[in-house]
Structure 1
Amino acid sequence: MDENRKVIVVGGGLAGLSAAMQLANLGVIVELVSLTKVKRSHSVCAQGGINAALNLKSEEKDSPYVHAYDTIKGGDFLADQPPVLEMCLAAPRIIKMLDNFGCPFNRGPSGNLDVRRFGGTLYHRTVFCGASTGQQLMYTLDEQVRRKESTGRVIKRENHEFVRLVKDCSGRACGIILMNLFNNRLEVLQGDAVIIATGGPGVIFKMSTNSTFCTGAANGRLFLQGMAYANPEFIQIHPTAIPGRDKLRLISESVRGEGGRVWVPGDSSKKILFPDGSERPCGETGSPWYFLEDMYPAYGNLVSRDVGARAILRVCEAGLGVDGRMEVYLDVTHLPAKTRHKLEVVLDIYKKFTGEDPNTVPMRIFPAVHYSMGGAWVDWPAADDSDRDSRFRQMTNIPGCFNCGESDFQYHGANRLGANSLLSCLFAGLVSGDEAVRFIEAFGGSQATSSDFDRALLQEKEENSRLLSVSGKENIFALHEEIAKVMVRNVTVKRNNQDLKETIDKLKEFRERLKNVSVQDSSPFANKSFHFVRQMGPMLELALAITKGALLRNEFRGSHYKPEFPNRDDEHWLKTTVALYAPEEPEISYLPVDTRHVAPTLRDYTKSSVGKIELTNVPDNIRLPI
């Protein structure tokens, strides 16, 4: 590899850092662009752990193949299976790499890594660092990237925002336009390939567990430039978050993994529908009703997230919420002090924002928008596909533009299992680094001309001038409140087609109103109002893709729940949604799901036995990125 080859990585979270590290190790110069300080990227908010089938509890007989099966099943069989399998095969190696780097994982009395159980599995395979795993992984990888930064192989550009992909005359990605968030200065960055790792679009819904900079605007801008966006309708609702007026704060699944129990006061005079179709009393009046344990006896409080969120909503809609509110209890008061100490970071967050001590009183929680399973469509030729060498994993439909982390689509299907997010970020980042280098080796360096960059820069300068010259009456933050209310009401846990049709009409109306938004803050420095106005257009286009994908998918699968279509429909809907931008509304098409390793079956979290798990058609020539 020519030592002057350069790859631009957009995003400073785990996916971006792992890609940057891999590229630098392969001898490429890396320009690392981050919206914020790298160590403040949203990956630091991940609390509970990272999955890897290390089989540290040998009596469980865990393996990467069982991990892959659980992941495929958890995603309701919508994920293409080859990338899931390879991610799970690489997971133990990734943990070993992090351990060698000095990541402070929890350990048991024997000195071995400690593991906890997470939702959607019966196995203890979640490795963790107390309740701040994401932060510790971020700090560990950042040290590796800073080593390369000290030698000049990585150049960090923090507090800069990606605003446009630059393409040459052949359509190949050859650089980006970025904006300095302190002074709004637009700059050109040239590269031989671009890797996008910019996280999810939670801010579209406003009331989410995501950081306030997780707007999805980068993917939205790429969508406007022709990038395909896959499975947009699949938005994960996390079962346990702290209700709040400003935003929602996550209570990690690790709380339930360590023995936390979900309950409401029982009421035997009321009945509720159980998963087997029977109606049963809602516990005993005057006693706690541990409804997840009753409904799903095999998995209990550790059912998959989509199942848990729907159960909590159903219980609250039946009038059983705490004090009549849309809240249930998450209780750790019965746990030993040693166990609660493992959860100290999470419990401190609850105490800080509510004033109540979860060591002595149960926490009040409710589901919240948390994660996007959908994202950029990226390619993944399987190891034994005949055209493997002519295709590039993690590459979007734009040549030379790769995408990884939460901002891609391919590892989680219709629902993500807890603790698979950090794993998929690391794995996809490593693969993206490898494949970007392979792409450059195959096609050489960028052949872009100065006019390609001048034209792109001029377009963004004109966009800045246009937005700053609008003297309309709309306020961007008030408009965002309206958009978010519609999206939360109609496009989260429970959906119906009439509401979704109305939401599409409302989003088109919001699109028109956005043209009348005035940037009321005239400051030329650190102008967040201006930045948010700039982000809202791409966010609205993604909101339309999310809503239209949900409208067209007439079935119940994973996080996508339509009571009017109460069953999964593999005959018609075992396929990946692919959205492309169009001026009126997105154009939707579909691709078949690759199910070569596991035949789809109906998920059942009421039973513990699934029989012997076997994956078929596993290639012999799998090459892992580590």
Structure 2
Amino acid sequence: MKKKEVIVVGGGLAGLAAAMRLAENGCHVKIISVTQVKRSHSVCAQGGINAAVNIKGEEDSPLIHTYDTIKGGDFLGQQAPILEMCLSAPLIVQMMDRFGCTFNRTPEGNIDFRRFGGTLYNRTAFCGASTGQQLLYALDEQVRRFEVAGQIEKFEHHEFLRLIQDKEGIARGIVMMDLFTLKLDVLKADAVIIATGGPGLIFKKSTNSTFCTGAAVGRLYMQGMKYANGEFIQIHPTAIPASDKLRLMSESIRGEGGRIWVYGDSTKSIETAEGKTIPCGETGKPWYFLEELYPAFGNLVPRDIGAREILRVLELGLGVEGRDEVYLDVTHLPEEKVHKLESVLHIYQKFTGEDPRKMPMRIAPAVHYSMGGAWVDWPAADDPERMKRFRQMSNLTGCFVAGEADYQYHGANRLGANSLLSCIFGGLVCGVEVPRYIDTLTSSYSDLDKDSFKAALHLEEEFQKDLLSRKGKENVHLLHEEMAQLMVKHVTVKRNNKDLAATLNALKVIRERYKNITLDDQGSHLNQTYIFANQFRSMLEMAMVITKGALLRDEFRGSHFKAEFPERDDENWLKTTIATYDPNGDEPVISYEPIDTPYLKPIHRDYTKAKRIKPKLENIPENIQLPL
């Protein structure tokens, strides 16, 4: 075989980590990105990256990190990859430190760690409030070394449109589009890695970059890729309310001592997690409701809990000046803590005109992250099939997925600062598994006749002609607005089956109306309307996956809450939702896969008590090979 050729779609942390490790393992890599690599959405991550290094002498460990992650995900995460991720975390932070990532330091010169949500330990390494940017830049420096050596090529401002498969269904390349000229082209490879992030734009207003459409994974779903746990969408408790876009106010603010509050009203009451009814603070005085409801974790409860409690307080009419906002306060913090938050506080001041050092910030929950994603394989370290299967590979042979685009690490709710970790870890695993997969191939893309490549390109050329020639009455941006309003209203914090069923039917209607759109611009130069209209087709399919998964799951688990089903139901719902595209049907086909719980059996998810425990994880495999 010729030199191993690999395509990496996505230039964020997962994509760059994969590209770096692939190049180290002798592969030639082509990186495809819709934007400049250093503007990928990973750059927006503020808070930190988790690793149980135990610098502060708290007796923290990777096994406790594993416990917190499994519990935080309400036991829907895949325990084998979670364990290996948490074991790798200290090595990943040390690797990034060696690469020159500018982590904050203690007076002794050690990497500093702060506390984040869902844990009682200080295990979050951080670079002020711009951790994602610093990690991304450090990885890009490594990638550029291989770029100069000719081992890595970048195709920035290009978009993935289609996976090219041979007659056996094996990935052999992609069809991509130049976003400046709409020119379609084929890239050939022995394997493809998808690292394209989440689908935040489905909800329009989110903390995600506007190019986080979910379109790439949606297109693969329409080609037969299984999509897992789509219904689990994380709502971040703290973002700046706005009419255009929601800007994240990092959990690091609360990690440094920021407090959430509203003015109390003793005539109103609220029920605690233990079933007690308490007054809503003292009338006219600040009520720190998270600290009262969850005295152990306070403002650092897991995000699903924080967002729901803020919503409950807003529903009681206690929002700031009657609006759907609460206060996030740092005015009491000493200067050394405020200094660590400089970049994120600057964002607030820039977009509101208010100085958060002098007055409390006004914040509200916002769509933030998708725990669901492409189904990928992961044989455990002690699985006899470990070396016959390939970690991070989807059900489409030769197509791997990593980062927010996959599903297995976060279950029903992601803990803060685990996202950057899972991105880098998943990318590194791909960098190990893909060369091993290519070694098993009996033929290369170069042995294939040209017909498979021509056929895939022809399909996209025909769709482009069709879309550009449509002269209907519908506007794709208005259809997007309608879809987003439905999704935000009915498929975020609070859900019910009546509204979910109505939303699913409404999405079907929007899909029919999409066939009747018109494009005012038929040009081929910088045609943003065409680009979005092309993306919107698969965004609609992803919206239906999210909605139908939520409709069918009749329980309360993590970010998925239905008032009519207020309890977690392990007997019936401790299982992964699998959505499959049906080209002949009008909605996703849903099936389920049982969750394996080899290390930690489900327990009650309690965040009211302050007790550091040494969890008893069982059946931990020996001699686990980590990708570092």
Superposition deviation, residue 531 in structure 1: 0.3
Distance 1:540 1:250 in 2: 25
Picking from 292, 295, 299, the partner of 1:294 is: 292
Picking from 577, 592, 595, the partner of 1:593 is: 595
Amino acid at match of 1:387: E
Alignment size in residue pairs: 624
Amino acid at match of 1:594: D
Amino acid at match of 2:436: R
> Deviations along 1:290-337, whole A, 9 cap, x unmatched?
000000000000000000000000000001111111100000000011
Distance 2:26 2:145 in 1: 13
Alignment of 1:482-493 (within 5 A): 482-493=482-493
Distance 2:306 2:147 in 1: 43
What is the match of residue 167 of structure 1? 165
Aligned: 1:510 with 2:510: yes
Superposition deviation, residue 264 in structure 1: 0.1
Structure 1 residues 184 and 591 mapped into 2: Cα distance closer, same or farther (>3 Å)? same
What is the match of residue 454 of structure 1? 454
What is the match of residue 50 of structure 2? 51
Superposition deviation, residue 279 in structure 1: 1.2
What is the match of residue 623 of structure 2? 621
Runs of 4+ in 1 over 2 A off after TM superposition: 444-449, 609-612
Alignment of 1:352-501 (within 5 A): 352-444=350-442, 445-446=444-445, 447-501=447-501
Picking from 304, 310, 313, the partner of 1:312 is: 310
Superposition deviation, residue 5 in structure 1: 1.3
Alignment of 1:179-190 (within 5 A): 179-190=177-188
Asked if the contact 1:168/1:449 (under 8 Å) is kept, the reply is no
Partner SS for 2:32: strand
CA RMSD of aligned residues (A): 0.8
Alignment of 1:527-566 (within 5 A): 527-566=527-566
Amino acid at match of 1:524: S
Superposition deviation, residue 521 in structure 1: 2.0
Partner SS for 1:320: coil
TM-score, normalised with respect to structure 1: 0.99
Amino acid at match of 1:442: T
Distance 2:83 2:566 in 1: 29
Distance 2:623 2:517 in 1: 55
Distance 1:135 1:201 in 2: 20
Amino acid at match of 1:114: D
Asked if the contact 1:519/1:530 (under 8 Å) is kept, the reply is yes
Q: List runs of 5+ in structure 2 lacking aligned partners.
A: none
Distance 2:104 2:311 in 1: 34
Picking from 242, 245, 262, the partner of 2:243 is: 245
> Deviations along 1:9-47, whole A, 9 cap, x unmatched?
000000000000000000000011001000000000000
Asked if the contact 1:210/1:370 (under 8 Å) is kept, the reply is yes
What is the match of residue 31 of structure 1? 30
Distance 2:281 2:448 in 1: 68
Asked if the contact 2:469/2:522 (under 8 Å) is kept, the reply is no
Alignment of 1:224-263 (within 5 A): 224-263=222-261
Amino acid at match of 1:502: A
Deviates more, 1:221-230 or 1:332-341: 332-341
Partner SS for 2:176: strand
Deviates more, 1:442-451 or 1:486-495: 442-451
Q: List runs of 5+ in structure 1 lacking aligned partners.
A: none
Partner SS for 2:117: coil
Structure 1 residues 29 and 101 mapped into 2: Cα distance closer, same or farther (>3 Å)? same
Superposition deviation, residue 386 in structure 1: 1.1
Identity %: 65
What is the match of residue 41 of structure 2? 42
What is the match of residue 74 of structure 1? 72
Superposition deviation, residue 611 in structure 1: 4.0
Aligned: 1:603 with 2:605: yes
> Deviations along 1:89-143, whole A, 9 cap, x unmatched?
0000001111111111000100011110000000000000000000000000000
> Deviations along 1:448-506, whole A, 9 cap, x unmatched?
32100000000000000000010011111111111000000000000000000000000
Partner SS for 1:390: coil
Superposition deviation, residue 609 in structure 1: 2.2
Asked if the contact 1:64/1:88 (under 8 Å) is kept, the reply is yes
Amino acid at match of 2:118: G
